């Protein structure tokens, strides 16, 4: 049965010929039974109204459209059901009322933040594993320190320690006149230095970063 076959497929994805056949020969009968539309006038109204499904419900499947009509009949929409009556104007109102009450399904910022958090944790652990094996950190590791210290707050370096690391980094930058770019570079180099110290501390304790974040 085509109606069952296309139940969960969006209207826009159904071949035009199949869609027209399902609407006129199967879905029309279902709606007529649900709304108790048995007279000839009602049948004609259904035939002229339901093809508007292709315009109003193009992103919905027949299963959801059925749910929409059932909510209308059960008085769960913001419009009162009219007994034994249906036309194209009413159909438009039913769809509008349903869409107003339908919860919007989209990826929330919370979901995105959780994915980003998980990704950053995995990358930070990779840096720790690499340090244990190679005993060095590349200059891009500064973000790991920012992540662990400022975001997760598991590194608590004293201000004097940070100042020492910064001054040491500035000494590594050549030139008498330091620019804004040099200042930013020194901050990042200091973070790498502090991160190395942190990794060495947890390694000395027999810990692993994956157990701390």
pLDDT digits (tens, 9 = 90+) for 26-49: 999 999 999 998 888 888 888 888
Q: Looking at the whole model, is its pTM more than 0.85?
A: no
Q: Identify the pLDDT of residue 201.
A: 95
Using the predicted structure, report yes or no on whether residue 82 has a pLDDT greater than 80.
yes
Calculate mean pLDDT across residues 155-184: 84
The overall average pLDDT reported for the chain is 87
**103-118 pLDDT, tens digit each:** 655 555 566 778 888 8
> Looking at 8-22, 61-75, 95-109, which range is the least confident one?
95-109
Calculate mean pLDDT across residues 169-175: 80
* 136 neighbors 193 (Cβ within 8 angstroms): no
Concatenating the DSSP letter of every residue in the chain gives -HHHHTTTS-GGGS-HHHHHHHIIIIIHHHHHHHTT--SHHHHHHHHHHGGGHHHH-TTS-HHHHHHHHHHHHTT-SSSPPPTT---HHHHHHHHHHHHHHSPP----HHHHHHHHHHHHHHHHHHHHHHHHHHS---GGGHHHHHIIIIIS------HHHHHHHHHHHHHHS--SS--HHHHHHHHHHHHHHHHHHHHHHHHHTT--GGGT-
pLDDT band at residue 176 under the 50/70/90 scheme: low
Using the predicted structure, report yes or no on whether residue 89 has a pLDDT greater than 70.
yes
Give the angle subtended at the CA of 156 by the CAs of 155 and 158, to the nearest 5°: 140
Calculate mean pLDDT across residues 182-209: 94
């Amino acid at each position: 049965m085509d109606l069952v076959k296309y139940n969960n497929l969006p209207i826009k994805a159904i071949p035009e010929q199949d869609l027209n056949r399902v609407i006129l020969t199967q879905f029309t009968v279902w709606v007529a039974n649900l709304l108790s539309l048995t007279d000839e006038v009602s049948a004609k109204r259904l035939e002229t109204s339901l093809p508007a499904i292709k315009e109003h419900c193009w992103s919905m499947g027949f299963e959801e459209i059925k749910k929409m009509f059932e909510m209308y009949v059960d008085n769960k929409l913001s419009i009162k059901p009219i007994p034994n009556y249906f036309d194209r104007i009413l159909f438009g109102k039913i769809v509008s009322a349903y869409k107003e009450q339908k919860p919007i399904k989209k990826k929330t910022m919370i979901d995105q933040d959780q994915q980003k958090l998980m990704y950053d944790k995995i990358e930070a652990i990779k840096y720790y594993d690499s340090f244990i094996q190679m005993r060095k950190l590349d200059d891009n590791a500064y973000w790991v320190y920012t992540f662990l210290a400022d975001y997760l707050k598991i590194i608590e370096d004293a201000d004097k320690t940070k100042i020492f690391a910064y001054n040491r980094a500035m000494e590594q930058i050549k030139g008498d006149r330091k620019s804004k770019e040099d200042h930013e570079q020194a901050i990042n180099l200091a973070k790498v230095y502090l991160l190395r110290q942190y990794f060495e501390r947890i390694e000395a304790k027999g810990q692993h970063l994956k157990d701390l974040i």
